[in-house]
Chains A and B, each alone.
Chain A
Amino acid sequence: MAYVAVTGGQEAIEESIKLLKYYRTAGDKDLETEALKDKMKLLIDRVMSESGLYAPAYAALALKQCEGSLEEAVFLLRAYRSTLARNHYSITIDSVNMRIIRRISAAFKDIPGGQILGPSYDYLHRILEFGVLNESKEEIEEWRNSYEQSFKREEINPFLRVSNILREEGLLEEVPEDSREAFDITLNKLPFPIPRSARLQILARADTGYISGLAYGALRGFGAIHPTVGELRSGWLSVEIPYGLEEGQDIYVGEILVTEVECFMPAVKKTKGHDEMKVGIGYGCVFGRNETKAIAISILDSTLRVTGEAPVNDEEFVLLHGDCLEMNGLLAHLKLPHYVTFQSKLDQLRKKKEE
């Protein structure tokens, strides 16, 4: 019998919630949200990025609350966001002033300021380290202390962008400065065609797997694109809001860790005579250390600016189907009873059979 016809939906839900708690609390060891926040950083980063809420402690709480389900954790934070009033927009941040922890370029060997490998899994052999199973707190502390001794404090000048090199040579595709206020995707329905600010926000919040797959498809030939990572940088940015009472007086509200990518792509500048080849830039920026996601965003930012037949050239296709809540919500809704509509369909089929 269909489950909608069963009375007692209320009790069923309550029992189901109890079971969830039972599952969540299984095992002898407790999981401190503090430990989650500090030791599962990349997971926290991904949750914050897809939920569009920079709050490591709440991301940890959300993950603990839902047995570590990424989709549920993002959901919890998004729903929480809805209860908060939007009081301020931050002042535009210039990432040249980023407090850098990592910065690389695949386009030039030597870049002004230098390549900084920073913390990266790229050159690590992915071998299960069974020693981690038994590492002791004392050992770790001792190692950390001695490692910190080796830190050198260096005054670092702002890192200019790698793309500046090309701009100075006049090789960069010129894009008119857009100083309009950024479109806020969380407060408005998208008015297609949408401004680039909206596109970059949607991609920044999109499901990592979804956009990585799309960008991968573009690389494999469904979108004809051959990007070079001009610059990838991760680091801390200061967020400030304007102080309402005095012009030019800004209030510092905190720091966010982001990853930013500029991807170089061939671009054609139409001129009267022959077409001129230029270097175009695809841009991606995400919360946390989400490097492949940032690269994927920069690729899609490029593919969406050119017309073409590939899925990645289709704005509505790319931008409307990768939101964690929207895609998973609709997929999950198929579990809801549909028999009023199915009965209606059945009616048509039966009539057809009678004829």
Chain B
Amino acid sequence: MTETILNGHYNFAFLDEGAKREIRRSVLKAVAIPGYQVPFGSRELPISRGWGTGGLQITLSIIGKKDCLKVIDQGSDDSVNAVSIRKLITATTGVLTTTDTQASTIIQSRHRIPEEKMRNDQILVLQVPNPDPLKSVSPKEKESRNLHAEAEYSGIWLRLYEKIIKYGRTTMGADHPVMVAGRYVMNPSPIPRFDNPKLNLSDCLCLFGAGREKKIYAVPPYTEVVSLAYEDHPFTIEDVSSRSCKYCGATNVYFDEIFDSVTQEHYFQCSDSGYCEKRRK
């Protein structure tokens, strides 16, 4: 595959120029209306739908020859799907890649925001499986679109409330919904709650792409992003207090939980592999 792509059979960044321009326009609209889901003509890619094609279409549309790319999945640069996505992008663009958050200009990620703070000249592209927080209220787009237009989010609040009544807490794991710029409720993609605060007033532009659901949305830099919660049941992140990384000793980061089948040992390591690698150097 790599050979034919490099043979010039395919355009720079795979998609044809018209498609990329169209996607960039959707991105611009998304930036102009923070948290609003912009429908777009999602294209098929050589990578499976549901495997990051929304994020990938954004990356392919915004990437230029001078960009330096980092791709992570579950925080890891070496996860097979991250490798596969990185391989496609580099094969069709020839851009430089890195595992260092600081050295990158574009980071495409699934399920994590890197531990190191991203700068204003960087873009974070997140892959989104379920863009609509109202899906749990109504699976029908016809209805949820109206609810968004009217900022009618009581269904989501009710769900949070019901969980508290039933379990004594909100039981959302990852993908805890957020209010963006006081207007649109948005799914932050399945990042752990630990990462939600990083979206608030972030220096970098965060773009969200849902390929299968054909939606793009954005959180521009310095936008207020508040995780939904009741005053008497404040939003809490995952408890990482008593943990540290076995390899670099980091604390107060998100961890992977590892069971060593040989030694029967149970330990933690940084979920952000690039960060861990840097600390160990």
Cβ-defined contact, B15 with A82, below 8 A? yes
- Shortest CB-to-CB span from B178 to chain A, Å, is 15
Among A112-120, A137-145, A186-194, A303-311, the one that faces the other chain is A186-194
Known: A3-B80, A340-B271. A193 touches B142 (CB 8 A): yes
| Cα(A18)–Cα(B81), bound, Å | 17
Considering only residues 227-243 of chain B, those with a C-beta below 8 Å from chain A are 238-239
Q: Nearest chain-A residue to B214 (Cβ)?
A: A189
| Cα(A269)–Cα(B82), bound, Å | 57
Q: Does B136 contact A (CB under 8 A)?
A: no
Known: A4-B79, A316-B142. A340 touches B190 (CB 8 A): yes
Cβ-defined contact, B111 with A341, below 8 A? yes
Convert B223-258 into 0s and 1s, putting 1 for each residue whose CB lies closer than 8 angstroms to a CB of A: 000000000000000110000000000000011111
Considering only residues 315-333 of chain A, those with a C-beta below 8 Å from chain B are 316, 323, 325-326, 328-333
A329 partner residues in chain B, CB cutoff 8 A: 48-51, 53, 212
A7 partner residues in chain B, CB cutoff 8 A: 78
- Shortest CB-to-CB span from A188 to chain B, Å, is 5
- Shortest CB-to-CB span from B13 to chain A, Å, is 10
Q: Nearest chain-A residue to B163 (Cβ)?
A: A348
Q: Does B141 contact A (CB under 8 A)?
A: yes
Cβ-defined contact, B74 with A340, below 8 A? yes
Q: Does B42 contact A (CB under 8 A)?
A: yes
| Cα(A193)–Cα(B141), bound, Å | 9
Q: Interface range on chain A: under 10, 10 to 19, 20 to 34, or 35 or more?
A: 35 or more
Convert A81-105 into 0s and 1s, putting 1 for each residue whose CB lies closer than 8 angstroms to a CB of B: 1111110000000000000000000
- Shortest CB-to-CB span from B94 to chain A, Å, is 17
| Cα(A186)–Cα(B87), bound, Å | 26
Q: Does A253 contact B (CB under 8 A)?
A: no
Q: Does A26 contact B (CB under 8 A)?
A: no
Cβ-defined contact, A86 with B18, below 8 A? yes
Cβ-defined contact, B192 with A341, below 8 A? yes
- Shortest CB-to-CB span from B163 to chain A, Å, is 10
Cβ-defined contact, A189 with B238, below 8 A? no
B81 partner residues in chain A, CB cutoff 8 A: 336-337
A333 partner residues in chain B, CB cutoff 8 A: 48, 50-51, 129
Cβ-defined contact, A347 with B51, below 8 A? no
Q: Nearest chain-B residue to A329 (Cβ)?
A: B49
Cβ-defined contact, A343 with B10, below 8 A? no
Cβ-defined contact, A339 with B256, below 8 A? yes
Among A8-16, A35-43, A125-133, A209-217, the one that faces the other chain is A8-16
Cβ-defined contact, B78 with A8, below 8 A? yes
Cβ-defined contact, A79 with B46, below 8 A? yes
Considering only residues 110-137 of chain B, those with a C-beta below 8 Å from chain A are 110-112, 129
Q: Which one of A12, A184, A188, A341 has the greatest number of beta carbons of chain B within 10 Å? A: A341
Cβ-defined contact, A13 with B84, below 8 A? yes
Q: Nearest chain-B residue to A324 (Cβ)?
A: B49
| Cα(A188)–Cα(B39), bound, Å | 8
Cβ-defined contact, B16 with A85, below 8 A? yes
Q: Does A5 contact B (CB under 8 A)?
A: yes
Cβ-defined contact, B80 with A343, below 8 A? no
Q: Which 5 A-B pairs have the closest CB atoms?
A: A329-B49, A189-B39, A330-B50, A345-B173, A78-B44
Which B residues are closer than 8 A to A by beta carbons? 10-11, 14-19, 22, 39-46, 48-51, 53, 73-76, 78-84, 87, 110-112, 129, 139-142, 167-169, 171-175, 190-194, 212, 214-215, 238-239, 254-261, 269, 271
A-B CB contact pairs (8 Å), 16 listed: A4-B73, A5-B269, A13-B83, A76-B46, A82-B43, A83-B11, A190-B141, A330-B49, A330-B212, A332-B48, A332-B50, A336-B73, A340-B174, A340-B191, A347-B239, A348-B171
